[in-house]
A and B are shown apart, each in its own frame.
Chain A
Amino acid sequence: MTNIPIESIPVLGKNPLPPAWRKYFSFSTDHKVIGVQYLVTSFVFFLIGGLLSMVMRAELITPESDLVDRSLYNSMFTMHGTIMIFLWIFPSLLGLANFLVPLMIGARDMAFPRLNAVAFWMVPVFGILLMSSFFLPSGASQSGWWAYPPVSLQNPSGDLINGQVMWLLAVAISGVASIMGAVNFVTTIFKMRAPGMTFFRMPIFVWTVLSAQLIQLVGLPALTAGAVMLLLDLTLGTSFFNPEKGGNPLLYQHFFWFYSHPAVYVMVLPIFGVFSEILPVYARKPLFGYRVVAISSITISVVSLLVWVHHMFASGTPGWMRMFFMATTMCVAVPTGVKIFAWTATIWRGKLRMDTPMLFALGAILMFLFAGITGVMLGSVPFDIHVNNTYFVVGHFHYIVYGTITMGMFAALYHWFPKITGRMYYEGLGKLHFWLAFIGTNLNFFPMHPAGLMGMPRRVSSYDPEYAFWNVLASLGGFLLGMSTLPFILNMVSSWVQGKKAPANPWRAIGLEWLVSSPPPVENFEEIPVVIAEPYGYGKSEPLVSNAAAMTQEA
């Protein structure tokens, strides 16, 4: 049924035939193709990272270290963290932003289409580079995803090409690709907006992508600087971070967290954007406090650059520094609280439609609220020192990276699936996915909090039997979470192949991307739209553009 001979690949835009799959394997410069390439590639890495975590959960189901070698366990948590951040969350969000931002601002493509394609193709390159380090004689990096010296400087094998060097090279390539992407997004959003699309008419998703990419531009070079110095320490024998030779390992921590804390906001801000897009559609109400929500995104990116030392409260930082960064960390709760308030007010007395994207969005917001509360707890110095490097921290940030970001990502994938593929997904499978994922996430990550409060340290493969109860629960949750991706994969693949054809606007949503056909034509708009209203005009019955007919003419 799908064995279309290669010769009959339709002339693009002629018939609404399924798009030729081959374009997704080519060096395409179409932002929509690149978006899908990012999404699919990152999802493959998500599965690899997930398998690693399930092996770790299997190891932790008993207090003894009995399943994998201890050094392999070290490599596994290092690679799990690195893969999930650099190869799943970052690229999948870039994929979503790639697909949506030009459509949402009324542009035909990104500002630099070729740069866009080059940046994407660096992802598989450094992904494979990173994976291949498992096959080195000395194994993959074991120093955790933050690679603190002097641990990361050990190199017991003595090989020049070791797991840590491969890790640093992969992170460096990822950094170059991210900077390319950031330059592209910032330029696109500043310079390519359709006429009438003023800053305060941009959808919140575009605002959040802009905020996130500005953080990349300011923060990422600091990590690059630290990574270069660490690489030189490791290969040439310089002594920037090597305490044995007069270097200062704390300096690396500053470089690392100056970027890697804001990186959390790079990851979560676009998901806040997703929530702000989805809630009004399924509640049939305008987003509450649109301008305030927009400004709070920029506020978060500014404040996020001044909080990094809260990761170093236990690193011998001076008292004034702890006080200062404790105060700034608490400040982040203000703009995020504004957003939570706005989302609550948006769904308040709305006509809620509990489709899969809405379920994922609401579930993710609920778990974000919980993660936000434990985040404020961790921001206070005395509490942080008490639970430093315990499973409490692990539980906290997994509520962010899985409970909020990955669940939000699924919300986005379901919501825009008809637009991306031109097909509808199966609602039943979607709901099954949600409930498995929601229960699995909480069962997996909630027990980490009590285990951490009891004192269970992170990054160990064996532990005191008194923590066993919580670990068994967490492991069961972990396996459930792993299972939950099966209905998702089944849904995505079968819907894309034989799902019902999607109309241009199946959700009756308001936004430029919903005015064009599903999937959108190659150049998006026949005529560039002229925007005459703010977004989220639900229940107002005013047009969004003045030339709706001309911009969607038969391409």
Chain B
Amino acid sequence: MESSISSELQHSATEHVHDEEGNSMFGFIVFLLSESIIFLSFFAGYIALKLTATDWLPPGVSGLEVREPAINTIVLVSSSFVIYFAEKALDRQNLWGFRILLLATAAMGSYFLWGQATEWRGLSFGVTTGTYGGLFYLLTGFHGLHVLTGVLLQGIMLARSFIPGNYEGGHFGINATSLFWHFVDVIWIVLFLLIYIWQ
């Protein structure tokens, strides 16, 4: 009986060792949780400086335009659903559906980046304009870097989908890309509330 238990355990051991995909996903989630703390720190800094500042907005600035960023937000948040359906398409082995949906996600991400760049160009304050200017560009810029990373990851995943046998080892790459994209989205929602809604 002892030996049957141990052989059973042995079986689960070999599974354990070969579950590299599971390890990678676990590690990636741990990494994202840690990464979210950088954002939380920036948010905390933003709130602290805003609450203690004597002159918050730079002279001549009355606030931020909300309409364009709101459209941007809608595009970015909807792209989270698009990449979700892309994942589902891959699970159903619908390779072309997956590629088209992934391309759509990347396009929506790029639209967001373009919208962000347009907004930056139209602003009357710079990164050295008081703590407000610094924080605005720090938060949106750091998030923008994550969006850019997400779009690049999607591009890599799209290119790799043309390699024969790419999915034999599992779907870790696309699952991680998708999770990262959801993460970037959730961060943006908090950021949007903090910077644009709470003025």
Whether the pair A240, B135 counts as a contact (CB closer than 8 A) is: yes
Most chain A Cβ neighbours within 10 Å, of B2, B6, B45, B138: B45
Whether the pair B34, A112 counts as a contact (CB closer than 8 A) is: no
Whether the pair B27, A187 counts as a contact (CB closer than 8 A) is: yes
The distance in angstroms between the C-alpha atoms of A237 and B40, with both chains bound, is 23
Residue of A nearest to B134 (CB): A238
Whether the pair A111, B23 counts as a contact (CB closer than 8 A) is: yes
Knowing A179-B34, A240-B134, A246-B53, say if A192 contacts B23 (CB, 8 Å): yes
Whether the pair A190, B37 counts as a contact (CB closer than 8 A) is: no
A248 part of interface (Cβ distance < 8 Å):
yes
What's the nearest-Cβ distance from chain B to residue A192, in Å? Answer: 7
A194 part of interface (Cβ distance < 8 Å):
yes
What's the nearest-Cβ distance from chain A to residue B14, in Å? Answer: 8
Residues of B1-60 whose CB lies within 8 A of A: 2, 6, 9-10, 12-14, 16-17, 19, 22-24, 26-27, 30-31, 33-35, 37-38, 40-42, 45, 48-49, 52-55
Residues of A203-261 whose CB lies within 8 A of B: 217-218, 220-222, 224-226, 228-229, 232, 236-240, 245-248, 251, 254-255, 258
- Which of B81-89, B124-132, B181-189 lies at the interface? B124-132
Whether the pair B37, A111 counts as a contact (CB closer than 8 A) is: no
B138: A residues at CB distance < 8 A: 228-229, 232, 238, 240
Whether the pair B127, A196 counts as a contact (CB closer than 8 A) is: no
The distance in angstroms between the C-alpha atoms of A428 and B73, with both chains bound, is 70
Whether the pair B37, A251 counts as a contact (CB closer than 8 A) is: no
Residues of A412-468 whose CB lies within 8 A of B: none
Whether the pair B10, A226 counts as a contact (CB closer than 8 A) is: no
Residue of B nearest to A106 (CB): B13
What's the nearest-Cβ distance from chain A to residue B95, in Å? Answer: 29
Whether the pair A239, B38 counts as a contact (CB closer than 8 A) is: no
Whether the pair B38, A184 counts as a contact (CB closer than 8 A) is: no
The distance in angstroms between the C-alpha atoms of A255 and B44, with both chains bound, is 10
In-complex Cβ contact of B134 among A217, A221, A239 (8 A): A239
Whether the pair B34, A182 counts as a contact (CB closer than 8 A) is: yes
A310: B residues at CB distance < 8 A: none
In the complex, number of A-B residue pairs with CB atoms less than 8 Å apart = 122
B34: A residues at CB distance < 8 A: 179, 182-183, 217-218, 220-221
B26: A residues at CB distance < 8 A: 187, 190-191
A530 part of interface (Cβ distance < 8 Å):
yes
The distance in angstroms between the C-alpha atoms of A79 and B138, with both chains bound, is 29
The distance in angstroms between the C-alpha atoms of A350 and B34, with both chains bound, is 43
Whether the pair B13, A194 counts as a contact (CB closer than 8 A) is: yes
What's the nearest-Cβ distance from chain B to residue A449, in Å? Answer: 35
A107: B residues at CB distance < 8 A: 17
What's the nearest-Cβ distance from chain B to residue A528, in Å? Answer: 5
A108 part of interface (Cβ distance < 8 Å):
yes
Whether the pair A546, B27 counts as a contact (CB closer than 8 A) is: no
Whether the pair B49, A248 counts as a contact (CB closer than 8 A) is: yes
What's the nearest-Cβ distance from chain B to residue A545, in Å? Answer: 9
B130: A residues at CB distance < 8 A: 239, 245-246
What's the nearest-Cβ distance from chain A to residue B156, in Å? Answer: 18
In-complex Cβ contact of A218 among B9, B19, B37 (8 A): B37
A547 part of interface (Cβ distance < 8 Å):
yes
The distance in angstroms between the C-alpha atoms of A191 and B24, with both chains bound, is 10
Whether the pair A183, B27 counts as a contact (CB closer than 8 A) is: yes
A186 part of interface (Cβ distance < 8 Å):
yes
A10 part of interface (Cβ distance < 8 Å):
no
Knowing A232-B134, A239-B131, say if A528 contacts B45 (CB, 8 Å): no
The distance in angstroms between the C-alpha atoms of A239 and B125, with both chains bound, is 14
What's the nearest-Cβ distance from chain A to residue B71, in Å? Answer: 29
Whether the pair A222, B33 counts as a contact (CB closer than 8 A) is: no
Whether the pair B48, A546 counts as a contact (CB closer than 8 A) is: no
Q: Which 6 A-B pairs have the closest CB atoms?
A: A195-B9, A225-B41, A238-B134, A221-B37, A187-B27, A221-B38
Instruction: Sample 15 A-B pairs with CB under 8 A, ordered by A number.
Output: A111-B23, A187-B30, A190-B26, A195-B12, A221-B41, A222-B37, A222-B41, A225-B41, A225-B45, A238-B138, A248-B49, A255-B41, A530-B6, A546-B6, A547-B6
| Given A220-B34, A221-B41, A240-B45, 20 other A-B residues pairs in contact with their CB atoms under 8 A | A183-B30, A184-B27, A187-B23, A187-B26, A195-B6, A195-B10, A217-B37, A221-B38, A224-B41, A225-B38, A225-B45, A236-B128, A238-B134, A245-B130, A248-B131, A251-B48, A254-B48, A528-B10, A530-B10, A546-B2
